[in-house]
Amino acid sequence: MTGMRKNAAVPIALLAALCTVLAGFLVLDRAFKLDRQLEVSRTRAHLWLRPLALAVESGAGGPEQIAALAGAVRRADPRIGELQVLTGTSFLYHSDPLKLGAGVDPGDVADKSLYDSGVEIRYLLKSARRKPYLLDLDHKAGTLALSEPALKGRRKSMGTLRIGYGLEKVRGAMDGRIWVLFLALFLAFYFMKGKFFKWRWPLAAAFLLIALAAGSLLLLANEGRNQAQAGAAKRAHLAEVGAVLAREAPELLPVFAADLKGGSFSDMLSEWKTARFVPAGEMEDSASGGERVTMPGGDAIAVEADTAAQAERRRQSVRQLKVVLAVFGLLAGLLLFFIMAGYALRALRALNKHRYSYIMVFPAMVGMIALVLLPFLYGLSMAFFRVPPSQSGKWVFVGLQNFVKILTDFHPLTPENFYFILLVTLMWTLINVFLHVSIGLTLAIILNKPGFPLKRVYRVLLILPWAMPSYITALIWKGMFHKQFGAINAFIKLLGFEPISFFNNFWTAFFANVATNTWLGFPFMMVICLGALQSIPTDLYEAAQIDGAGKWQQFKSITMPLLKPALFPAIILGTIWTFNMFNVIYLVSNGEPNRSTEILITQAYRFAFEKFNWGYAAAYSILIFLILLTYGIYTNRITKATEGVFD
Amino acid sequence: MEKKNKRSFRERVIGALLQFFILLFTIGTVYPVLWVFKIAFGSQKGLSLSLSLFPAQPTLENFNHILFEKPFFIWLLNSLIVAAATSVIGIFLAATAGYAFSRFRFPGRTAGLLSFLITQMFPGTLMMIPLYLIVNWLGLLDNLAGLVLVYSTSAIPFSIWMLKGYFDTIPKELEESALIDGASRTLIFYKIILPLAKPALAVTALFSFMTAWNEYILAATFMNRELSYTLPVALRNFVGQFAQDWGLFAAGAILVSIPIVALFFILQKYLVSGLTAGSVKG
């Protein structure tokens, strides 16, 4: 009892640390999201105000038309709270109908503040120390108020406009994925009880680190998504403004477009991380993330995502993240240090005690780490980025986007659909392994019959496919399946049928692949079976015969059980090889017809080296690896194939 | 008497049927190989639509062409260097590691063995891009050393498992008595274990050699100059996107396959014992 109470301090500390980390991530994520949505709201408010300011500046149409336009703007967006256009001391438009046409009432708080804003903006314009806009945030009420001048020239204010705009509510941060972290937490403490008891501290610390890493990854991913959503919202809003303008004041459209191009407010826009607006013709590279927004009845305006500003924002958020991570990392590191110090001491002692073993393993280990483990981790990390095809390009972090894209593509008509290919791959593996084992076993049993004539000759000839290089085999079979000149079609013609073009139909192409791989793969299974059969003592069969067991019963009760230890590892290995059998698919059917006979590994290769979509290909490969790993662990548990090997 | 005769008749029928089956199957198995011979010795560039295994006008034209008008011997040398270096390096690294894994109990042993097993599941496509970047970074693109490096590491896990399985079957008493006689661990390894493990070493070396000799994708990705091609890449290009010279391919395929098939058959008697040594035990 006392021991338990003494030990309870560490898990509680760990739990507290984990909860703090989680809470920190939640707060950070919410802050990021709020920030991004504020940015969108500011841009929307500004884009509503701007045409009105232009109308005042141009002086065309007169006060009635400006009022009408303002009314239309206010009706167009329910989030607009108040809207005022003030010139001198009288309102051209006021969202409160009682104030329309009236002068500024110094006793009214709202009027007073607007008037003061106008004064301040005029002062700012003169001193030009700051950009002439004023923003008031009221987080409690969920609104912002934006005041801007209508300018004459560069310095002279003609009037002040103000808009009150409702902020969007920010939903609970980190969505459902936060539960993954809680799951990690749960697992950390779950494992402490069972057979991992002696590893509970390092495990918990590791989970803490994993939670840190996963949280920051999710945070970054969310931030990327927020950014993309913000960009899309801004672009959509531009079209909205354009529609109102086209309806109410079409003559203002070109002025608006010219203004967007980077007139007086371009600095402000870029500071607000809005899109940078360029007339369609002038955009240099519309392919680089640019987009066109066509305004109804007006010019097409190309909108180019302001990547520089976005990158700055990204850097800023990463900086913030780094600070938080550094603090938590330091805490976790300290914890880990104290826990691991003991283990390190023990490890050093072990290293010294077993130094001879480690020296012998060392060279192989270095090679494996440098050329297997590091590339693997590199490939692993690639799956979370958008990797440009050129090596000099910058990686863009996209979180789990690659995986989501692969796994949520359910479109049944695209043969590149992951699930379709997975199905083909499973079918391919099952059929092949079944054929390899059944043919190999049959031949082995026949050749193992005592006194079977020409045994050795057959054996040598039947191993031939294994001895041949597989790429040559694959290419030979591709030639054999050739429509006009292949031996298979010659045979079919001989039988009196029409020649088949094997690679125009899924099933025939699939058949061609399977035939090739069966030819390639059965000798391995045959050799394994032969070896195992030969090691079964013959007196077992004799004893069974004396006991009156039939041939089938002998096979079932003696041969099969004694074959198992050799056959199961071979089957597991064969399954993994077939699952990743690149050569046959790539060289025989090459995915024809229409990429439908592709298996996962060849599809991943295509994404990597034909489409140069490396992040996507890496994500694809990781899915393959996970499938195989699950299979390996599962079969290992069932067959205990590797049991005894570790003794 | 009658009954016995009947049974032996039935057995004879079954025996004949089995013979027939095996014969058919063997013909089916060997046919593609013979078909390659026919094309290689044939005079057409393309394929021929006949089941007969004898070319209409036998000629050595294709062999002449590939041997003396193409840089065949350079490709052969490339392949030989890469495959030999791979198997030597692989064997050296795997033998010591396999011995340690077989004989000593040290922390990390199980994890190491398991991790070697797991590396076999890494999809090649995942490794190819990073490997490409690493080899490029080392400046070894278009260089045989780059291929050797990559091949030997990919051959090591399999070699370690095979050799460990074989070392397990060598009785420990041999080393114990040598230890008592005052031999060092290193001496025991080189003078007792390695000579005893010769068959396993041969099979493992053969596997490494074959893997390197037959590997196509990595070689095609890393080697871009015609003169640094290995044989698989060169052969594939005969019937690739830009050419359809099946005669040349067939001649090359025969030249490439003969040494490896010969090697395979010489060592095949060790094959079964080598492959099953580790697994039959449990």
Residue pair A563/A575 in contact by the 8 Å Cβ criterion: no
| pLDDT at residue number A516 | 92
Q: What is the CATH number of domain A403-457+503-508+526-613+622-639?
A: 1.10.3720.10
- Residue B188 within a domain: yes
Last residue of a domain, one of B16, B32, B59: B59
Task: Inspect the interface and report whether the beta carbons of A469 and B214 lie closer than 8 Å.
Answer: yes
- Residue B22 within a domain: yes
* Terminal-to-terminal C-alpha distance of chain A: 37
DSSP alpha helix (H) spans, A59-101: 62-76
Chain B hits for A486, Cβ within 8 Å: 47, 49
C-alpha–C-alpha distance, residues A231 and A234, integer Å: 5
DSSP-derived secondary structure for A380-437: HHHTTEE--SSTTSPPEE-TTHHHHHHHT---TT-TT-HHHHHHHHHHHHHHHHHHHH
ipTM passes above 0.85: no
Q: State the DSSP H helix or E strand holding residue A487, giving kind and residue range, or none if neither.
A: helix A487-494
C-alpha–C-alpha distance, residues A33 and B133, integer Å: 37
- Residue B39 within a domain: yes
B43 and B164 in a common domain: no
A482-485: long-range contacts at Cβ-Cβ below 8 A with a sequence spacing of 24 or more? A482/B47, A484/B47, A484/B49, A485/B46, A485/B47, A485/B48, A485/B49
Residue pair B209/B84 in contact by the 8 Å Cβ criterion: yes
- Residue B51 within a domain: yes
- Which percentage of chain B shows pLDDT scores above 90? 4
Q: Select from A15, A22, A83 the least CA-distant residue to A49.
A: A83
Structure-token match 């309870």, residue found = A8
pLDDT band for position B83 (50/70/90)? very high
Q: State the DSSP H helix or E strand holding residue A156, giving kind and residue range, or none if neither.
A: strand A156-166
What is the chain A residue with the closest CA to B189?
Answer: A360
Residue pair A443/A522 in contact by the 8 Å Cβ criterion: yes
Task: Inspect the interface and report whether the beta carbons of B104 and A356 lie closer than 8 Å.
Answer: yes
- Peptide bond connecting B71 to the previous residue in cis, omega within 30 degrees of 0: no
Q: What is the mean pLDDT of chain B?
A: 81
Residue pair B213/B196 in contact by the 8 Å Cβ criterion: no
| pLDDT at residue number A504 | 82
- Residue B257 within a domain: no
Mutate to test the interface with B, among A361, A562, A578 (most CBs of B within 10 A): A361
| pLDDT at residue number A304 | 40
C-alpha–C-alpha distance, residues A510 and A425, integer Å: 11
Mutate to test the interface with B, among A357, A376, A380, A563 (most CBs of B within 10 A): A357
Chain A hits for B130, Cβ within 8 Å: 374-376, 378-379, 382
Q: Please tell me whether residue A598 adopts helix, strand or coil conformation.
A: coil
How far, in whole angstroms, is CA A400 from its chain's centroid?
3
B91 and B8 in a common domain: no
C-alpha–C-alpha distance, residues A626 and A285, integer Å: 40
Domain span holding position B28: 2-59
Q: How would you classify residue A644: left for phi > 0, otherwise alpha for psi between -120 and 50, otherwise beta?
A: left
Who's near A97: CB < 8 A, 6+ residues apart?
none
Residue pair B200/B277 in contact by the 8 Å Cβ criterion: yes
Residue pair A230/A33 in contact by the 8 Å Cβ criterion: no
Pairing of strands A156-166, A143-152: antiparallel
CA-based nearest distance A413→chain B, Å: 25
| pLDDT at residue number B82 | 92
Task: Inspect the interface and report whether the beta carbons of B282 and A629 lie closer than 8 Å.
Answer: no
Chain B hits for A406, Cβ within 8 Å: none
B185 and B86 in a common domain: yes
C-alpha–C-alpha distance, residues A56 and B68, integer Å: 86
| pLDDT at residue number A518 | 92
C-alpha–C-alpha distance, residues B64 and A110, integer Å: 98
C-alpha–C-alpha distance, residues B257 and A293, integer Å: 62
What is the chain B residue with the closest CA to A442?
Answer: B22
Which pair of structure tokens corresponds to residue A124? 């700012």
Last residue of a domain, one of B59, B88, B103: B59
Q: What is the mean pLDDT of each run of 10 residues along chain A (647 residues)?
A: 47 67 72 77 84 80 80 85 81 75 69 75 64 70 81 75 81 56 62 61 69 73 75 77 79 75 41 33 34 40 48 69 74 72 75 79 81 83 78 72 80 69 90 93 86 81 86 85 79 81 84 91 87 81 83 82 79 86 86 80 84 83 89 76 54
B191 and B133 in a common domain: yes
- Which percentage of chain B shows pLDDT scores above 70? 87
Task: Inspect the interface and report whether the beta carbons of B127 and A462 lie closer than 8 Å.
Answer: no
- Summarised one tens digit per residue, pLDDT across range A4-25 is 444 555 666 666 666 766 777 7
Structure-token match 């097993």, residue found = B117
Residue pair A186/A109 in contact by the 8 Å Cβ criterion: no
C-alpha–C-alpha distance, residues A299 and A282, integer Å: 13
| pLDDT at residue number A428 | 92
| pLDDT at residue number A482 | 80
Task: Inspect the interface and report whether the beta carbons of A644 and B25 lie closer than 8 Å.
Answer: no
Which pair of structure tokens corresponds to residue A142? 């969920």
C-alpha–C-alpha distance, residues A77 and A244, integer Å: 10
Residue pair A450/A472 in contact by the 8 Å Cβ criterion: no
What is the chain A residue with the closest CA to B267?
Answer: A467
C-alpha–C-alpha distance, residues B35 and A256, integer Å: 76
Chain A hits for B128, Cβ within 8 Å: 605, 608-609
Q: Which of residues 555-584 of A touch B (CB under 8 A)?
A: 565-566, 569-570, 573, 576, 580, 582-583
- Residue B205 within a domain: yes
Q: Directed axis angle between helix A560-579 and helix A506-534, to 10°?
A: 140
- Given CB atoms, is A500 within the 8 Å cutoff of chain B? no
| Average pLDDT rounded to a whole number, residues B265-278 | 64
Chain B hits for A347, Cβ within 8 Å: 107
Who's near A642: CB < 8 A, 6+ residues apart?
A569, A636, B117, B282
Identity of the residue in B32, B271, B280 whose CB atom sits nearest the CB atom of A480: B32
Chain B hits for A643, Cβ within 8 Å: 282
DSSP β-bridge partners for residue A137: A144
Please indicate whether residue A266 or residue B132 has the higher confidence score (pLDDT). Answer: B132
| pLDDT at residue number A289 | 38
Number of domains in chain B: 2
CA dihedral A111→A115→A117→A118, nearest 10 degrees, is 140
- Residue B255 within a domain: no
Mutate to test the interface with A, among B126, B151, B241 (most CBs of A within 10 A): B126
pLDDT band for position B1 (50/70/90)? very low
Kindly report the length of chain B.
Answer: 282
DSSP β-bridge partners for residue A292: A302
What is the chain A residue with the closest CA to B109?
Answer: A646
Task: Inspect the interface and report whether the beta carbons of A364 and B94 lie closer than 8 Å.
Answer: yes
Q: How would you classify residue A496: left for phi > 0, otherwise alpha for psi between -120 and 50, otherwise beta?
A: left
Rg (CA), chain B: 24
| pLDDT at residue number A411 | 65
Task: Inspect the interface and report whether the beta carbons of B153 and A371 lie closer than 8 Å.
Answer: yes
- Residue B75 within a domain: yes
- Summarised one tens digit per residue, pLDDT across range A565-581 is 778 878 888 888 898 88
- Given CB atoms, is A382 within the 8 Å cutoff of chain B? yes
Task: Inspect the interface and report whether the beta carbons of A476 and B253 lie closer than 8 Å.
Answer: yes
Chain B hits for A483, Cβ within 8 Å: none
Mutate to test the interface with A, among B96, B122, B187 (most CBs of A within 10 A): B122
A266 CB burial (10 A radius; 0-12, 13-18, 19+)? middle
Identity of the residue in A368, A447, A604 whose CB atom sits nearest the CB atom of B125: A604
| pLDDT at residue number B242 | 64
pLDDT band for position B136 (50/70/90)? confident
The architecture in CATH of the region A6-172+217-308 reads 2-Layer Sandwich (3.30)
- Summarised one tens digit per residue, pLDDT across range B148-190 is 988 887 888 888 888 888 888 888 888 888 888 888 888 888 8
C-alpha–C-alpha distance, residues B255 and A31, integer Å: 69
A456-490: b or e for each residue (b if 16 or more CB lie within 10 Å)?
eebbebbbbbbbbbbbbbbbbbbbbbbeebbbbbb
C-alpha–C-alpha distance, residues B275 and A637, integer Å: 22
What is the chain A residue with the closest CA to B100?
Answer: A357
Handedness of CA A450, A453, A457, A459 (dihedral sign): negative
Q: How many CB pairs under 8 A join A and B?
A: 272
Q: What residue segments make up the domains of chain A, in order of their start?
A: 6-172+217-308, 355-388, 403-457+503-508+526-613+622-639
Task: Inspect the interface and report whether the beta carbons of A350 and B214 lie closer than 8 Å.
Answer: no
What is the chain A residue with the closest CA to B132?
Answer: A375
Q: Report the CATH number that the domain containing residue B76 is assigned in CATH.
A: 1.10.3720.10
Backbone angles phi, psi at A638, to 5 degrees: -75, -50
